[in-house]
Amino acid sequence: MDEQILRATKEMIVKFIEMGRLSPSNIHESFKDLYATVNETVKENVTKAVPSNDKQD
């Protein structure tokens, strides 16, 4: 899952650069912020989507 989050973040950064919304000179800070946001969002939604298996019959 971490590799997919990293790939998605990289693709988003590339798109932002292509669109002119992000400058390569400030990519370091932007990448860290975007990665943290994607990581948090994905992991929150995965834990909500996966049902708990506390009770097993």
Residue-by-residue DSSP string for 16-29: HHHTTSS-GGGHHH
Q: Which two tokens stand for residue 25?
A: 């000179």
Mean pLDDT confidence for 34-53: 85
Q: How confident is the model at residue 52 (pLDDT cuts 50, 70, 90)?
A: low
Q: What is the pLDDT of residues 2-40, one digit of tens each?
A: 999 999 999 999 999 999 999 988 898 899 999 999 999
Number of Cβ within a 10 Å radius of residue 3: 7
C-beta of residue 31 within 8 angstroms of C-beta of residue 9: yes
pLDDT score, position 57: 46
